[in-house]
Amino acid sequence: MPFAVFSSAGRCLLVAATLLAAAPAVQAQRAAGPNRPPDFLDPAFHKQRRELVRQAMPAGSVAVLFAAPVRNRANDVDYVYHQSPDFYYLTGYEEPEAVLVLFKEPQTIQGQAGVTEALFVQPRDPKAEQWTGRRLGAAGTQQELKLQFTADNKAFAGAGIKWAEFRSVLFTELPTDVRDDPRDESDLFNLVASFRQQAAVPASFSAEQSGLHKTIQRYGVANAANLRPYLENLSKQMPEVAQDVYVQNYLRATTDAERQKAVAERPAMRFDSGTLNDALDNLRAVKTPEELQHLRRAIRISTVGQQEVMKAATPAMGEMELQGLHEYVYKKYGAEFEGYPSIVGAGNNACVLHYIANDKPQVKNDLLLMDCGAEYHGYTADVTRTIPPSGKFSPAQRQIYELVLAAQEAGFAACKPGAEFQAPHKAAQKVIADGLLKLGIIQKPEDVRTYFPHGTSHYLGLDVHDRGTYGPLQAGNVITVEPGIYIPEGSACDQKWWNIGVRIEDDVLITPTGYENLSREAPRTVAEIESMMQRPSALDDFRLPDLR
């Protein structure tokens, strides 16, 4: 999936009163307890992650993380709940309406001494569980996830945490677009409000500005050439940045010595959203053996999906049907979700980087780009293949495809520990620029971004665009290598190239000596793809009745 830079309907009162009064809006969770698949991460993994975060916390600090909000789909129907990856990483808890508190030094909470970690969770509720599935509750959470201290979320406000005594309060960006359920006094809306009130977080506090301050500290001298234009642009767009004294003092510095002085004069901030983000970036960038086991499973499932769709695809099939084949394979092998909306686009649709409509009735003989990834126990693959539905590449399709393939090989060669994160992109971009010049599609190298507008790599893990430092590559990183060329109709080049979109994406583990292509089972070369597409498919004789 191409790297992207980040960074209610009214209810019918009568129905609500009669049918839904006892039904919480959240959609059913995966079953808690012994009937779940046996290979989820062990509680010891999450415990170790919490301890490593605590080691990164400064003396006298407390860290707070909230579960993800429930997201509404329409009226009284919500999307299937997906936990915040950070929250899951540190707890293994998959339910909403919860808050995790980590203490640098042991505290006494509700009479329990020596507490360094406290998790407040939604309570058991037989009526709610009849609608949406069994909850763990505080006792079940303690039993299953082995945290030191657990309690119902309604106890959070009165837990006796002495917020005023901490020298610094650490948190990631606080949820702000959260619904307030009037039937639940301890939902996420109230948990966040209670934290703000107890810890006296100023209404004016900006997590984004706090993050900017940390960025200046980290890159203000070593990478000023890139940081200065970024901050100048933000200052034009955001009044709060334009009025931030620390940011503006840094921008006024013109020499490294002045920048060093400006960086060192960061104002003391008791509320800090940068330190916790830094700790999580560093930890999540390097995958443990347990995480790699899940990632390998998700990636292998996704490569089998690519193989099976290659065997089954015909020009008469539609994008949505082909999407369904990928996702059937995922479910067949126990992948709970897709890691992101499947991208299945033919012809001009393949030139839309995050195309997800997938509604072209027939793909015909246009190149078909399939960017799809299974999510297994929270960890997601991200694999793209581009194929000719007819089973044979045309000469023009083949030329563009093989140029992208050569760029990917150059990207692979740059994947080694110690290389800068952008090394695979720089290598791939040069190959594509040289190739497009040779084909006459561009007239100067800098025009390459017209047809290759995205980066080549991003981290992969609990998020498809996962957390990471974006510093030098190191053993244990899992990244994508995904060059592409996209030539939409109407482009300023020979029409024979129009409607060709190609992306080839693999998931790569950085090893101590180089790299391992984890998605190598999905055919990549022209010969491999054309050979795979000649093989019989288990779906060749599958026919459904016509709907008339």
pLDDT tens profile 209-265: 888 888 898 889 988 888 999 999 999 998 889 999 999 999 999 999 999 999 999
CB 105 within 8 A of CB 60: yes
- Between CA 93 and CA 140 the distance in angstroms is 11
Asked if residue 432 has pLDDT above 90, the reply is yes
pLDDT tens profile 331-340: 999 999 999 9
Asked if residue 14 has pLDDT above 70, the reply is no
DSSP state of 44: H
Higher pLDDT, 266 or 446: 446
Degrees (nearest 5) of the Cα angle 318, 323, 325? Answer: 100
pLDDT tens profile 285-303: 999 999 999 999 999 999 9
Residue 38 CB partners (closer than 8 Å, separation 6+)? none
Residue 213: the pLDDT is 87
Q: Is 76 exposed, middle or buried (0-12, 13-18, 19+ CB in 10 A)?
A: middle
pLDDT tens profile 297-324: 999 999 999 999 999 999 999 999 999 9
- Between CA 147 and CA 460 the distance in angstroms is 27
DSSP state of 150: E
Asked if residue 450 has pLDDT above 70, the reply is yes
Q: Which helix (H) or strand (E) holds 327?
A: helix 319-332
Residue 54 CB partners (closer than 8 Å, separation 6+)? 63, 102, 103, 104, 116, 117
pLDDT tens profile 111-127: 999 999 999 999 999 99
* Mean pLDDT confidence for 17-26: 36
Asked if residue 8 has pLDDT above 50, the reply is no
- Taking alpha carbons only, the member of 247, 253, 246, 220 closest to residue 234 is 247
Asked if residue 267 has pLDDT above 90, the reply is no
545 φ, ψ to 5°? -65, 150
Q: Which helix (H) or strand (E) holds 171?
A: strand 168-171
DSSP string, 466-535: -----SS--TT-EEEE--EEEE-TT-SS-GGGTTEEEE-BEEEEE-SSSEEETTTTS--SHHHHHHHHTS
3-state SS, residue 245: helix
For the chain, domains (ranges, CATH) are 43-199 (3.40.350.10), 207-270 (no CATH), 286-534 (3.90.230.10)
Query: Looking at this protein, which amino acid is placed at residue 144?
Result: E
Residue 205 CB partners (closer than 8 Å, separation 6+)? 271
pLDDT tens profile 369-402: 999 999 999 999 999 999 999 999 999 999 999 9
Asked if residue 51 has pLDDT above 60, the reply is yes
pLDDT tens profile 485-527: 999 999 999 999 999 999 999 999 999 999 999 999 999 999 9
Residue labelled with tokens 């800098």: 446
How far is CA 393 from its chain centroid?
33
Does the CA dihedral 277-281-287-292 come out positive or negative? positive
Residue 12: the pLDDT is 34
CA dihedral 322, 328, 330, 334 (to 10 degrees): 180
